[in-house]
Structure 1
Amino acid sequence: MGVLESTAAEGLAARIPLADAALATSAFAKVTRRIVPFIVLCYFFSYLDRVNVGFAKLQMQQALGLSDVVYGIGAGIFFWGYMLCQVPSSLLIYRLGMRKSMAAIMIVWGLVSAATMLVSTPFEFYAARFLLGVTEAGFFPAAVMYLNKWYPADRQSKIMSILFLFLAMPLGMVLGGPISGALMSGTHDLHGLQGWQWMFLIEALPAIALGMLVLRMLPESPESAPWLTKAEAAAISGTLSTENARKSTSFVAALKSPVLWTLMAICLLFNIGNYGLVFWLPTIIQSTGMQSPLEIAFLTAIPYSVACVAMNRNAAHAERTGERRLHSAIPLFVAAAAMWASTLFPHNTVVAMLFLTIGISGLMATLAMFWGLPGRVLAGTAAAGGIAMINSAASLAGLIGPVLMGGIKQSTGSISLGVLALAGLMFAAAVLILAIPRKLLSARPV
């Protein structure tokens, strides 16, 4: 966990005595080992239950007679429920407590995801996806609030970026694709149900089981964790108290900053590309001539497997050089060019997959870098509110991306034109990143 600990330890050392800083570092390492893997596992299944509809489409679209636009709306309507319930869910979580809320949310979203196997009409498909967004909306805020009780902001940002976004999300595609494909192929027509129906049911069960384990696996606070000594618990609480006392940057002032709105626009544009690919990649691969759901699922895993390596190498090089802006923009330019190139070979699976892999690797490399940018220009309450607004832009992108792809494919008959549109939006996002002054991203947050 050296990457997670080094920068944060430097910040601690500046605020508290060296011995106390060493004790806090040891305590935070214990916390990371004990609670973070479990939360990441929960987030993995959250992400899988969100995107597995892309694999289900390979069978369910024909079985239910869904048009491309209907599928695109259904895939994206998840984010309507997700966005509308973000604030109400956060308020309810604050009243009920993070652990109880996380447990309830996981069990309910698992039940809703499993119930998707029963849909038979477009309206039922919309309703199931919308309710999944409603029920899942509170999980991420609950997880963030829970981590707030264990980590100061410097450590928490690295935990969130490295483990949540850049481990759970890629693994959701790397592992989720083959798992979904194998389930669909291996259970098709079993006991009168189609493979996509079994997939929704079986992949929902871990969320329900993990929800039942939340209260057992996650302590209420550092003081109640049996695996922390009293001194370690006190070191964590002392660090958090010190940080909370200095959070004073105004969110209202941040709203007046053009940089915040630029970051929101960047997040919106490249995430339209991200979600457009997530929900349509199996179909894009199918359009090259592949037919087997299992083979398509394994091919879907290839770009995200390579992306895991690419984004870590890019982030490591950025860390060594101290440069952030070009390490965010250049991979996105590469992604846009590669996605464009993939459309030149619509019926050549090998060549198309090569360019899709390069494109997705560039996109994920930018995603890994992007969430470190807000913290370069925002701090305190401005960071909390600003990051929430930027995340809302990502949710809006989830509404637009799948529908954009479905609309273009249905109106033109070509999925390649949809991919070109995504490439254009990625290019625009890269240009906006370069529009942010270099010195601003090199400065310490204020």
Structure 2
Amino acid sequence: MNLLSRPTFDSARDWALYNRIARRILPFLFFLYIISFLDRVNVGFAKLQMAADIGLSDTAFGFGAGVFFIGYCLCEIPSNLMLQRFGAKFWIARIMVLWGIVSSCMLFVHTPTAFYMLRFLLGISEAGFYPGIVLYLTYWFPTYARSQAMAYFNLGIALAGVFGSPLSGWIMQTFAGVGGLAGWQWLFLLEGSPAILFGTVTYFYLDNGPGKVHWLSAEDNARVTSQLAAERGANERDGARHDFGAAFTNAGIWCLIVTNFTLLCGTYGVSFWMPQIVKNLGVRSLFTTGLLAAVPFAVAAVVMLIVSKHSDRTKERRWHGTIATALSAAGLAFSACFHTQPWLSLIGLSVAMAGGLSGFCVLWALPGVLLTGQAAAAAIALMAMIGNLGGYASPFLIGWLRDRTGHLESGLYALSVVTFVGALTMACVPQLRQRRAAQRSVVSDTPA
């Protein structure tokens, strides 16, 4: 099965080669991201039972859900630099095992303060996972195929919602009271353990990068490394800087940072509060809540793949990202406007999630074009660091507005405005000069 689109590549040989790489690493990486995103999905479900057990208000839950990102953001840049130093397979494995241990320990939470502390530690533990994978993909895929690679990785978000939501509801409903533990305690234990297991597997399965991997021939190893080196050289000749300080001074990167922040506000705001939103539609069964909460993620999984393939094929990023982000904002407003009509509200959330995740796939293909080397590593981490503050801000904002107004839809209206600002910012990304043909000519002509 070919994961990457044929029209993206000038050479049938390269199409076959990069599809071989994609089949080797992308399914594994997206499975790891499913495990990662379960931490974002399960806390929303746990809240349905945990709030009463430990005395958690909506504002307190929003703060606790979001404080994860404070710890996460503080360690983003150091983590990505450590990945470059120690190698991807060791560093990603270390991240996963540590966050699995902390996530499982959430079952011991009995007070709001303990909830805040463990969520903060979980953020520190998981810091660097997403930007580390983004950086890792730049080691394997040329720019013109990177949006598709990001889409398959980000598919983990959608499928974590598709499968994780019903699974979370089923665990809480089925295991409640077993062994003297509440359903939400079993949820944290059972959904935290896979990170420990597959973190160990990661160390033995992943390779640090192309060059000497056993599942490629010597000729293919050399071809990949020489092509990517040629592309980096072309980027640098066209003005892409590689020094560390460039990550903080590039105007295009700051546009991407703002857009990423707003997209994460919308995506995490919906993800954390989706179970409550569905419950407010009149659904009482936890399992049914999980099934309905999966619908927007399922729609997003299909749309994001279509958008990313089209973006790679046309080699256009800015307007793909702008339109997708604007649709996300419109979906949030639509869902809030029709909050009293369950299916219309769910359609709005589906549009919001599809637009948000499609925007991510395009957005994260750009840092490696604007910058290279250490600057790219720092820029990717900086984007994730500041962007993930949206994961702190949006759950807290929704919880605070709901406590003040008594209406959950007021938070969705606020997120819609924030996300629309992201669409305007994405439209302001400096026009990338038309250097793709020259780059790909360099790459295609590079001898193995």
Find out whether 1:123 has 2:116 as its counterpart: no
Aligned-partner SS, 2:337: coil
Aligned residues: 431
Cα pair 1:5 1:155 within 8 Å, conserved = no
Q: Deviations over 1:46-71 (max 9, x none)?
A: 12123321111111112211011111
Query: How far 1:8 sits from its partner (Å)?
Result: 6.7
- The residue aligned with 2:166 is 178
What does residue range 255-270 of structure 1 map to in structure 2 within 5 Å?
Answer: 255-270=248-263
What does residue range 197-236 of structure 1 map to in structure 2 within 5 Å?
Answer: 197-219=185-207, 222=210, 224-236=212-224
Provide the rounded CA distance (Å) in 2 between the counterparts of 1:285 and 1:341. 15
Aligned with 2:275 (options 248, 268, 282) = 282
- The residue aligned with 1:35 is 25
- The residue aligned with 1:47 is 37
Aligned-partner SS, 1:392: helix
- The residue aligned with 1:309 is 302
Provide the rounded CA distance (Å) in 2 between the counterparts of 1:302 and 1:337. 18
Find out whether 1:403 has 2:393 as its counterpart: no
| Amino acid paired to 1:368 | C
Identical positions, percent: 36
Residue 308 to residue 191, structure 1, CA distance change in 2 (3 Å)? same
Provide the rounded CA distance (Å) in 1 between the counterparts of 2:307 and 2:5. 19
- The residue aligned with 1:17 is none
| Amino acid paired to 1:67 | S
Query: How far 1:241 sits from its partner (Å)?
Result: 4.3
- The residue aligned with 1:18 is none
- The residue aligned with 1:349 is 342
Aligned with 2:88 (options 94, 98, 114) = 98
Query: How far 1:81 sits from its partner (Å)?
Result: 1.1
Residue 80 to residue 431, structure 1, CA distance change in 2 (3 Å)? same
Cα pair 1:27 1:235 within 8 Å, conserved = no
Provide the rounded CA distance (Å) in 1 between the counterparts of 2:326 and 2:135. 35
Provide the rounded CA distance (Å) in 1 between the counterparts of 2:76 and 2:177. 38
Structure-1-length-normalised TM-score: 0.86
Find out whether 1:64 has 2:54 as its counterpart: yes
| Amino acid paired to 2:25 | I
Find out whether 1:443 has 2:434 as its counterpart: yes
Deviates more, 1:388-397 or 1:183-192: 388-397
Query: How far 1:75 sits from its partner (Å)?
Result: 0.7
Residue 106 to residue 124, structure 1, CA distance change in 2 (3 Å)? same
- The residue aligned with 1:86 is 76
Provide the rounded CA distance (Å) in 2 between the counterparts of 1:414 and 1:404. 12
What does residue range 418-437 of structure 1 map to in structure 2 within 5 Å?
Answer: 418-436=411-429
Q: Deviations over 1:178-217 (max 9, x none)?
A: 1111111111111211111111111112111112212332
- The residue aligned with 1:16 is none
| Amino acid paired to 1:380 | T
4+ runs of 1 displaced by more than 6 Å? none
Provide the rounded CA distance (Å) in 1 between the counterparts of 2:204 and 2:400. 46
Provide the rounded CA distance (Å) in 2 between the counterparts of 1:82 and 1:203. 19
Residue 202 to residue 352, structure 1, CA distance change in 2 (3 Å)? same
Cα pair 2:307 2:320 within 8 Å, conserved = yes
Cα pair 2:147 2:308 within 8 Å, conserved = no
Cα pair 1:117 1:198 within 8 Å, conserved = yes
Cα pair 2:4 2:15 within 8 Å, conserved = no
Provide the rounded CA distance (Å) in 1 between the counterparts of 2:135 and 2:424. 34
Q: Deviations over 1:274-318 (max 9, x none)?
A: 211111111112122222221111111001111222333344455
Q: Deviations over 1:366-401 (max 9, x none)?
A: 33333345566x142455444433222321111111
User: Could you say which structure has the greater relative contact order, defined with CA pairs below 8 angstroms and 6 or more residues apart?
Assistant: 2
| Amino acid paired to 1:260 | I
Q: Deviations over 1:63-86 (max 9, x none)?
A: 211011111111111111111112
Residue 422 to residue 246, structure 1, CA distance change in 2 (3 Å)? same
Cα pair 1:102 1:142 within 8 Å, conserved = yes
Cα pair 2:66 2:395 within 8 Å, conserved = yes
Query: How far 1:331 sits from its partner (Å)?
Result: 3.6
Q: Which runs of 5+ in 1 are unaligned?
A: 14-20
Residue 442 to residue 291, structure 1, CA distance change in 2 (3 Å)? farther
- The residue aligned with 1:163 is 152
Cα pair 2:138 2:146 within 8 Å, conserved = no
Residue 334 to residue 159, structure 1, CA distance change in 2 (3 Å)? closer
Provide the rounded CA distance (Å) in 2 between the counterparts of 1:213 and 1:99. 10
Cα pair 2:130 2:384 within 8 Å, conserved = no
| Amino acid paired to 1:60 | M
Provide the rounded CA distance (Å) in 1 between the counterparts of 2:92 and 2:361. 25
| Amino acid paired to 1:110 | G
Provide the rounded CA distance (Å) in 2 between the counterparts of 1:118 and 1:254. 40
Query: How far 1:7 sits from its partner (Å)?
Result: 7.0
Cα pair 2:76 2:381 within 8 Å, conserved = no
Provide the rounded CA distance (Å) in 2 between the counterparts of 1:211 and 1:356. 32
| Amino acid paired to 2:364 | W
CA RMSD of aligned residues (A): 2.9
- The residue aligned with 1:380 is 372
Query: How far 1:432 sits from its partner (Å)?
Result: 2.8
Deviates more, 1:214-223 or 1:199-208: 214-223
Provide the rounded CA distance (Å) in 1 between the counterparts of 2:178 and 2:419. 42
Aligned-partner SS, 1:422: helix
